[in-house]
Amino acid sequence: MKKKSTTPTLDDDTPITQADIDDGKLILRKRSAGRVVLPKKRVTLYLDAALVEHFKHMAGERGYQTLINETLKSSVQTADIAETVRRVIREELKGRKAA
């Protein structure tokens, strides 16, 4: 189950007030090629040199950090899907045992 952010966001049709600006907690979403892009966070991460070289080789001109980011996102989504399937199977099996 994913946690929902409690930080307020600004939708495209919501007017910006001075209070929003002064508050400093507002996350502005920017658009890129017609889609909303959430802000990224800078982190320091130590990875094996061979792993970094592998991603640099795979990425080519594109940028290896972007490829690492996409790989991590894909891994999280796969884990979420796997957990959902496990939960549904457990519920189905519990329902059959009860019947």
Beta carbons of 80 and 2 less than 8 angstroms apart: yes
Q: What angle do CA 60, 78, 75 make, to 5 degrees?
A: 40
- What are the Cα distances from residue 70, in Å, to 41, 87, 96? 14, 26, 39
Question: pLDDT by residue (tens digit) across 50-86?
Answer: 999 999 999 988 889 989 999 998 998 888 888 889 9
| pLDDT, position 24 | 61
Q: What angle do CA 48, 61, 72 make, to 5 degrees?
A: 45
